[in-house]
Homo-oligomer: A and B are copies of this chain.
Amino acid sequence: MRYTFNLKTLLLATCLVVPLLFGNVNAQDEAPEAAPAAEESPVQEYLDLVEASGGADLAPAFDFFTVSMLWTVIAAAMVFIMHLGFATLEAGLTQSKNTVNILFKNVWIISIGLLTYAAMGFNTHYPCGSWQIENWIGFNGPISGLTGGENDTWGYGGLSLAMTAYGDFIFQAMFAATAATIVSGAVAERVKLSSFMIFSTILVAVGYTVAGSWHWGEGWLYQMENPFYDFAGSTVVHGFGGAAALACVMILGPRKGKYTKDGIKPIVGHSMPLAAIGVFLLFFGWFGFNGGSVLSANPGPLGLVFTTTALAAAAGAVTSIFTSMIVLKKPDLSMALNGLLAGLVSVTAGADSVSPWAAVIMGAIGGIIVVGSILFFDKIKIDDPVGAISVHGTCGIWGTLAVAIFGGANFMSQLIGVIGVYLFAFIFSFAVFFLIKLVMGVRVSEEEEAEGLDVAEHGCPAYHIQ
């Protein structure tokens, strides 16, 4: 509608030129060898495969690697479906007039997230020694040469990172877009589409990968005497997204009509079935998120992680249900749903290193915290339509610190990690989003907000039920 050619050019540059600049479009280099001829005996085929991985006497270890790699890619697919969960949860908890906009943002985020992660994210997330500022910032170029030789075998990561290079890439790429998705929920119903597209691209390509490199890229959080411990990302994924969301909401301001002279006016979600679909899909995907973070199919940790993940979610739902009954005087479905998610965020940092009953307590406390946090942010007029700041940000803090209480991590290290990542996410997001505000604005006009972004930005309502 009102997209100028300059804006389009800018966006195009962001997402298309970057990979081409860095990209290595060289099919010969990367294309895999032809498959072995099908005429051989099964055992001979197998020995050929194993030979390519380092020697036929290692056959059993090769099989462990194979099943681990399979789990990695299945887990990646499960994390992918979390993006549908985020999309439907966000759509369900907001007004019907902004639904197309929300779905569109989520298609954008997963797509640009995958592309930028290939173009620069992966190698920035894991600098492997290529830092510009030692242990703090290591911008690097696109993926290339991830196939052939060691990259297709355990030579890539051993059996503690039992996946091929592409397995590592695709699993981490699915994580990367999560942070931006969290922000999407908090800024829903009034953010300008083009501004959000640019912001989310920068957040996922630069902000998330830099913060992640401090921990998973073996940067300063990993180098501390007592290393910061965050198993699957209570802080470096969920906390990062929650803090970024807070910064954006502060710049953006609340939705019109939410905070009036007569008090807080709830803006109810338009479809609770959509919201419930979203939360159940997120719960399902979380088994890939946490379970895949075992980084192999090692049976012991895998069983523990599935158990702690599920029990923490259940406990979060139950306590948020009772908390809502007591505080809100009704059994509130959106609180129950957010309680499930709160339990999941609360156990994500320690899912591999706490007992099931500790997970129940961690989730149960998360389920209480999230209700309080949602009410608190509403009170101080931070308008977060879906409760993303509370679910991911507040519970991310609790989950990370809880590993010190229940899982043997060092409390000070956990605290330093939380402060470092949250501060960075907040400041980075504030700076970028503020700059975008200065240049092109971040908020739709009052008329567009009243009309709804679906028609105003996309020229198409979400529903047409006769």
Contact = CB atoms under 8 A, between A and B. Distances in A.
Interface residues of A, number: 169
Interface stretch (A181-189, A267-275, A374-382, A437-445): A267-275
A418 to B, nearest CB: 20
Contact of A23 (B46, B100, B300, B357): B357
A212 interface: no
Interface stretch (A127-135, A302-310, A427-435): A302-310
A29 interface: yes
Interface string A92-130: 000111011001101110111111001000000000000
Given A70-B302, A358-B25, A408-B27, A459 B330 contact: yes
For this chain, the copies found in one complex come to 3
A331 interface: yes
B276 A160 contact: no
A300 B63 contact: no
Greatest chain B CB density within 10 A among A73, A301, A334 is at A73
SS class, residues of chain A in contact with chain B: helix
B84 A277 contact: yes
Greatest chain B CB density within 10 A among A23, A115, A193 is at A115
A290 to B, nearest CB: 11
Greatest chain B CB density within 10 A among A38, A96, A298, A353 is at A298
Interface in A250-282: 268-274, 276-277, 279-281
A164 interface: yes
A317 to B, nearest CB: 4
Contacts of A353: 31-32
B95 A300 contact: no
A284 B333 contact: no
Interface in A34-67: 35-36, 38, 40-43, 45-47, 49-50, 52, 54, 58-67
Given A100-B272, A114-B314, A31 B354 contact: yes
Greatest chain B CB density within 10 A among A108, A333, A465 is at A333
Nearest to A59: B60
B158 A42 contact: yes
Given A31-B355, A84-B280, A111-B314, 6 more contacts: A27-B355, A42-B155, A76-B306, A111-B313, A114-B311, A163-B299
10 contacts: A31-B407, A46-B159, A104-B336, A111-B317, A111-B321, A147-B300, A163-B303, A269-B464, A271-B465, A333-B460
